């Protein structure tokens, strides 16, 4: 009898243990999507909905410059399934190097929602749009703390990059804080355009001109931070003028309004034509779970997903059907969705030869060091 009781207890214990074992196995078997994206660049609720609807767990890491992203990928076997490189030059270089997996459009039925005009711009570096879908896009320009600048200089030129890039102007505003984001890739084309030179120039003479222009304002800069830190500096009013991404400025303005401390931030697009960029949803060639990446891309390209993301981060997307669903204050903001006339003047930088890239990298190091 004692043996029978022991056996029944053993069977009962095994039955109680079985669900825990199954749960552990299910947890182990749950697919994981490894995402590497820009800081403050998604609506967390969209990620949550994707996990709930698909059962795919998302492991989410962030960066704040293209140089950081490229450094991670160049080491090989990054472990990421989905990355968000800017079309020029990072995405273009990855396509050319065969470092990206062609997208399986049979798994991405919402591909049809993408704006063909915008995708045609990216097709110049990705023939047939085989390796990426536009996630968000924007321009490079000035974030300006309008209340502080007007107090210091009522007639300040608020229509272009002269406000920051003319040394006499930078000197005049230095005490309220000036900054340039730490990205040669995104800053130098705008500086060259401001100088009246070709943003895609590989000529060392043009590179030296851009370097001299930046060194001339270097003594007046408070910081050369990553875009994430620069967003915070704008939102708190720590700087009054900064060269950075349009959406970061618009995010900073919204945060400043919410804080209610009288910090008024505006965005100034270069009047000579803004640097236009596209951030792409792409899958590394060695992605451990490419099927989950395709599922996430398809989920993101739904109009309601993209509308939620644009409303949250204040960058425009490439899904026209999402625009009526975007928060009204965001969709009606000409800084978020520039008018056609401004877009027609915008330029998309090209991929440079390696020698020109190395020259710009050395230039940028000297600029940051101030010598």
Domain boundaries, the chain: 30-137+277-338, 138-276+350-369
Q: What is the reported pLDDT for 30? A: 82
pLDDT at 28: 54
> What is the pLDDT at residue 14?
46
Would you state the pLDDT for residue 20?
Answer: 52
* Average pLDDT score, the chain: 90
Report percent pLDDT > 90 for the chain: 71
In angstroms, the Cα distances linking 22 to 14, 33, 184, 362 are 12, 22, 51, 56
CATH superfamily of 138-276+350-369: Periplasmic binding protein-like II (3.40.190.10)
The pLDDT confidence band at residue 350, using thresholds 50, 70 and 90, is confident
3-state secondary structure of 33: strand
**Do 138-276+350-369 and 30-137+277-338 have the same topology in CATH?**
yes
pLDDT of 1 higher than 60: no
pLDDT number for residue 19: 57
Q: Are 282 and 131 in contact (CB under 8 A)?
A: yes
Phi-psi region of 370 (alpha: psi -120 to 50; beta: other; left: phi over 0): left
Question: Would the pLDDT of 8 be above 80?
Answer: no
Residue 17 in this model has a pLDDT that exceeds 70: no
With respect to CATH, is domain 30-137+277-338 assigned 3.40.190.10? yes
């Amino acid at each position: 009898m004692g043996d029978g009781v022991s056996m029944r207890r053993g069977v009962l214990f095994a039955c109680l243990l079985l669900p825990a074992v199954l749960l552990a196995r299910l947890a182990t078997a749950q697919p994981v999507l490894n995402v590497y994206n820009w800081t403050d660049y998604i609506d967390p609720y969209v990620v949550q909905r994707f996990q709930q609807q698909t059962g795919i767990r998302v492991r989410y890491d962030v960066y704040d410059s293209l140089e950081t992203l490229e450094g991670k990928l160049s080491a090989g076997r990054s472990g990421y399934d989905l990355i968000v490189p800017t079309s020029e030059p990072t995405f273009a270089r990855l396509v050319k190097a065969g470092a990206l997996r062609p997208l399986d459009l049979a798994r991405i039925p919402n591909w049809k929602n993408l704006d063909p005009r915008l995708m045609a711009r990216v097709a110049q570096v990705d023939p047939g749009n085989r390796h990426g879908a536009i996630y968000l896009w924007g321009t490079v320009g000035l974030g300006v703390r309008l209340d502080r600048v007007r107090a210091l200089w009522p007639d300040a030129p608020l229509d272009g990059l002269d406000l920051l890039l003319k040394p006499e102007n930078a000197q005049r505003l230095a005490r309220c804080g000036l900054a340039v984001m730490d990205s040669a890739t995104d800053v130098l084309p705008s500086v060259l355009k401001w100088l009246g030179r070709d943003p895609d120039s590989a000529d060392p003479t043009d590179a030296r001109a851009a370097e001299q222009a930046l060194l001339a304002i270097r003594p007046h800069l408070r910081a050369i931070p990553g875009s994430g830190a620069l967003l915070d500096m704008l939102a708190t009013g720590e700087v009054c003028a900064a060269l950075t991404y349009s959406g970061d400025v618009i995010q900073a303005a919204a945060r400043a309004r919410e804080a209610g401390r009288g910090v008024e931030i505006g965005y100034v697009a270069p009047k000579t034509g803004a640097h236009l960029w596209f951030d792409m949803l792409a899958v590394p060639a060695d992605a451990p779970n490419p099927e989950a990446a395709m599922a996430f891309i398809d989920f993101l390209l739904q109009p309601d997903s993209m509308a939620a993301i644009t409303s949250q981060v204040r960058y425009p997307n490439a899904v026209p059907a999402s625009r009526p669903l975007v928060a009204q204050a965001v969709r009606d903001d000409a800084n978020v969705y520039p008018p056609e006339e401004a877009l027609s003047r915008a330029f998309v930088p090209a991929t440079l030869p390696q020698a020109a890239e190395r020259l710009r990298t050395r230039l940028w190091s000297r600029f940051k060091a101030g010598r």
